């Protein structure tokens, strides 16, 4: 057995050191956000943002949970958009990708072109906006955010490649047994391509959850705002929250001194509460993101 | 007599040929009925949301007024293009779009490959898992959140980085009024958000290398750097080429999130952060001149199309496998 040379050990140390630096730089803004949310408002006012605050305080979270109306409403909207959008997206993408994955589909070429052209050329943001707002009348309708993102060309081609892995012989034998195409898809292809569908669903969930531009264009009413829009308008949201806290009829008769409300740190508490639940879910499922990306390949 | 016979015969053959063709089409249709039925719903969605808006492109050649609608508005020829290209905005957004895209493409390519190579050197599985998981986390964040997280670092109101700079150089700097600073900040944010995801694809190509190759090189006396240079890098080359080519094809679509949400749409920064996408998006949110905006997107689309076709040609000539189509 060869012993490790000094050089190699040194090399290992350098590699770890560099990666650790990257890791610390990555994690730093997140930790800092949490620290600020736990900082006492007065210490923030006194010495500004600091890594080690003079005094810690849970106040921001306490007040946040006393007036959670907007946050809960934001979660509700985000969940509606994400769940509805993802179900529709997976369904439509699958319905398009499956026939394209079948070598015996006679109209394959036509539909391939139909799906491919939008990858090269689009009507652009203005035309999409006019279509949705003027001609479909979908302003303040969740559909405006859900539907346009469905059945994207890239996803169709990615899923098509993955569906080609389902052995054709299995599908043929199903046909011989008298199964319709739809039944074959439902009972043979779908169960065998669960990981591919899971990847598609997860990517879709992430995209819908983080989408800010479409809600900003189409969901104008504040009660339709998803979480990302609440973050985008965070200062207004916190001001409104403060008013709700000060109004005795909504805060349950408690008298609150306006100076007690930590309006700066609440912003950061709101950021944490708006992000952490999803982050916990996604980091657990991280391997699916990478798996799909690798097996799906870059090519459409 | 013989002639007419021949003509009749030929005519009959032609007719039966057509009938035969029609019959074959019918059989083809019947055989594919099930699969065709599946395509209907997605095809309708694609036609409505991808093809119909293409008609809207004519706005670029019209003086669009909401009351008149797309078809009722007056034609103005190329006036909208003229207006945009003669304005100061045109030069600014074109310059920014190209600058940021080139910088982002190059920096993320280098960083992603380097991080992948570094991760490949890690043999401790727990350390590897921790590094990869942490680096991946920003991928899940929305750009809005990233922009908000940046404020306590950069704000002139006691931001951490501002304080640090003040302590070291004794100079007060307000990042939100210093557009040039964002030429560095935005690419860093871009790397911060993308390196976990971006390095992964290279890392998995490295994992596919046969370890016998490295052993053989070691026996032949190749040191670590030689092994990386002659085995790892060549393995990553094709993937790096494809991804870069795809990015170049997308060079005019800079991605709205980074430029709009991370800068918090600060007006003082437009000089160096306004790109085509933010320009168009802002005109939609503020309801500005739709016709000029349409002209800008059409220009963006056409240049994008040309770039895709050209880069794809290049990719094809490198290796057919790596072309987009």
For position A297, what pLDDT does the model report? 43
For position A172, what pLDDT does the model report? 87
Averaged over A236-265, what is the pLDDT?
74
Phi-psi region of A150 (alpha: psi -120 to 50; beta: other; left: phi over 0): beta
Could you give the CA distance from residue A180 to residue A175 in angstroms, rounded to a whole number? 7
- How would residue A298 be classed by pLDDT, with cut points 50, 70 and 90? very low
Burial track A234-269 (b if 16+ CB lie within 10 A, e otherwise): beebbeebbebbbeeeeeeeeeeeeeebbbbbbbbb
- How would residue A137 be classed by pLDDT, with cut points 50, 70 and 90? very high
Residues of B in contact with A107 (CB under 8 A): 32, 35-36, 39
> By C-alpha distance, which of A239, A49, A116 is closest to B152?
A49
A102 touches chain B (CB under 8 A): yes
Note the pLDDT tens digit of each residue in B30-66: 888 999 999 999 999 999 999 999 998 898 998 888 7
Contact: A95, B246; criterion CB under 8 Å = no
From the list B148, B256, B308, the residue facing A231 with the nearest CB is B148
CB B99 within 8 A of CB B183: yes
- How would residue B127 be classed by pLDDT, with cut points 50, 70 and 90? very high
Which domains does chain A carry? 6-67+233-289 (no CATH), 75-221 (1.10.3720.10)
Contact: A231, B69; criterion CB under 8 Å = no
Most confident of A135-139, A191-195, B298-302: A135-139
For position B256, what pLDDT does the model report? 87
Phi, psi (deg, nearest 5) at residue A39: -80, 145
Phi, psi (deg, nearest 5) at residue A4: -70, 135
CB A54 within 8 A of CB A286: no
Could you give the CA distance from residue B222 to residue A278 in angstroms, rounded to a whole number? 46
Angle at B44 between CA B43 and CA B45, to 5 degrees: 90
CA closest to A265 among chain B residues: B152
Could you give the CA distance from residue B312 to residue B307 in angstroms, rounded to a whole number? 8
> By C-alpha distance, which of B138, B99, B255 is closest to A282?
B138
- How would residue A1 be classed by pLDDT, with cut points 50, 70 and 90? very low
Contact: A19, B122; criterion CB under 8 Å = yes
From the list B38, B118, B309, the residue facing A182 with the nearest CB is B38
For position A300, what pLDDT does the model report? 35
Angle at B138 between CA A15 and CA B173, to 5 degrees: 90
A110 touches chain B (CB under 8 A): no
The alpha-carbon gap from A133 to the nearest alpha carbon of chain B, in Å, equals 11
Flag whether pLDDT at B1 surpasses 60: no
A154 touches chain B (CB under 8 A): no
Contact: B38, A99; criterion CB under 8 Å = yes
Average pLDDT, chain B: 87
The alpha-carbon gap from A247 to the nearest alpha carbon of chain B, in Å, equals 28
For position A292, what pLDDT does the model report? 57
Could you give the CA distance from residue A36 to residue A51 in angstroms, rounded to a whole number? 8
A285 touches chain B (CB under 8 A): no
From the list B28, B195, B261, the residue facing A212 with the nearest CB is B261
- How would residue B324 be classed by pLDDT, with cut points 50, 70 and 90? low
CA closest to A293 among chain B residues: B201
Instruction: Give the length of chain A.
Output: 300
> By C-alpha distance, which of A168, A26, A200, A7 is closest to A97?
A200
From the list A29, A36, A228, the residue facing B142 with the nearest CB is A228
Note the pLDDT tens digit of each residue in A61-105: 988 888 888 899 999 999 999 999 999 999 999 999 999 999 989
Could you give the CA distance from residue B64 to residue B82 in angstroms, rounded to a whole number? 16
Could you give the CA distance from residue A72 to residue A74 in angstroms, rounded to a whole number? 5
DSSP A56: B
The alpha-carbon gap from A255 to the nearest alpha carbon of chain B, in Å, equals 31
ipTM of predicted assembly, 2 dp: 0.89
Angle at A143 between CA A138 and CA A144, to 5 degrees: 55
- How would residue A293 be classed by pLDDT, with cut points 50, 70 and 90? low
Residues of B in contact with A181 (CB under 8 A): 34-35, 37-38
Average pLDDT, chain A: 87
DSSP B75: E
């Amino acid at each position: 057995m060869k012993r490790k040379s000094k050089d190699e050990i040194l090399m290992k140390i350098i590699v770890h050191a560099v990666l650790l630096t990257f890791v610390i730089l990555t994690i730093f803004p997140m930790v800092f956000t949490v620290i600020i949310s736990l900082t006492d408002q007065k210490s923030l006012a006194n010495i500004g943002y600091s890594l080690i605050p003079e005094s810690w305080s849970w106040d921001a979270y306490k007040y946040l949970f006393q007036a959670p109306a907007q946050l809960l409403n934001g979660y509700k909207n985000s969940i509606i958009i994400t769940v509805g959008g993802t179900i529709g997206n997976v369904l439509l993408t699958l319905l398009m990708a499956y026939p394209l994955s079948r070598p015996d589909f006679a109209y394959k070429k036509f539909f391939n072109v139909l799906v491919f052209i939008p990858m090269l050329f689009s009507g652009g943001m203005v035309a999409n906006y006019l279509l949705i707002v003027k001609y479909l009348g979908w302003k303040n309708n969740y559909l405006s955010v859900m539907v346009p993102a469905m059945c994207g060309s890239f996803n169709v081609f990615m899923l098509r490649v993955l569906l080609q892995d389902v052995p054709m012989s299995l599908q043929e034998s199903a046909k011989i047994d008298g199964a319709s195409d739809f039944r074959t898809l439902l009972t043979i292809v779908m169960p065998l391509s669960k990981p591919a569908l899971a990847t598609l669903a997860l990517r879709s969930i992430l995209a819908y959850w983080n989408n800010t531009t479409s809600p900003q264009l189409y969901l104008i009413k504040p009660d339709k705002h998803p979480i990302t829009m609440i973050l985008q308008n965070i200062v207004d949201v916190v001001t409104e929250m403060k008013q709700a806290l000060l109004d005795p009829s909504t805060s349950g008769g408690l008298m609150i001194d306006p100076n007690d409300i930590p309006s700066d740190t609440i912003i950061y508490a709101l950021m944490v509460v708006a992000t952490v639940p999803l982050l916990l879910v996604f980091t657990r499922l991280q391997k699916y993101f990478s798996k799909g990306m690798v097996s799906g390949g870059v090519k459409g | 007599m013989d002639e007419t016979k021949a003509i009749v015969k030929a005519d009959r053959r032609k007719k039966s040929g057509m009938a035969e063709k029609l019959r074959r089409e019918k059989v083809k249709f019947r055989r594919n009925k099930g699969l065709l039925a599946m395509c209907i719903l997605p095809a309708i969605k694609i036609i409505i949301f991808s093809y119909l808006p293409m008609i809207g492109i004519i706005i670029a050649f019209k003086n669009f007024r909401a009351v008149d609608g797309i078809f009722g508005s007056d034609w103005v020829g190329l006036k909208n293009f003229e207006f945009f290209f003669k304005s100061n905005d045109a030069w600014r957004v074109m310059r920014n779009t190209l600058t940021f895209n080139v910088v982002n493409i190059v920096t993320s390519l280098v960083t992603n490959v380097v991080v992948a190579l570094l991760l490949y050197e890690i043999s401790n599985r727990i350390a590897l898992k921790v590094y990869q998981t942490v680096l991946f986390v920003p991928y899940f964040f929305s750009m809005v959140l990233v922009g908000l997280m940046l404020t306590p670092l950069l704000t002139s109101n006691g931001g951490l980085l501002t304080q640090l700079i003040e302590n070291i150089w004794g100079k007060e700097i307000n990042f939100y009024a210093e557009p040039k600073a964002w030429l560095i900040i935005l690419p860093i944010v871009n790397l911060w958000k993308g390196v976990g995801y971006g390095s992964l694809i290279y890392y998995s190509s490295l994992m596919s290398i046969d370890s016998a190759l490295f052993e053989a090189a070691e026996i032949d006396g190749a040191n670590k750097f030689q092994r990386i240079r002659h085995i790892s890098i060549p393995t990553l080359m094709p993937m790096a080429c494809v991804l870069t080519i795809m990015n170049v094809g997308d060079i005019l679509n800079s991605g709205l999130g980074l430029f709009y949400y991370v800068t918090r749409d600060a007006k003082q920064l437009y000089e160096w952060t306004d790109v085509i996408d933010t320009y168009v998006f802002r005109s939609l949110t503020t309801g500005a001149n739709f016709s000029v905006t349409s002209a800008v997107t059409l220009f963006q689309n056409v240049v994008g199309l040309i770039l895709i076709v050209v880069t794809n040609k290049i990719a094809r000539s490198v290796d057919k496998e790596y072309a987009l189509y």
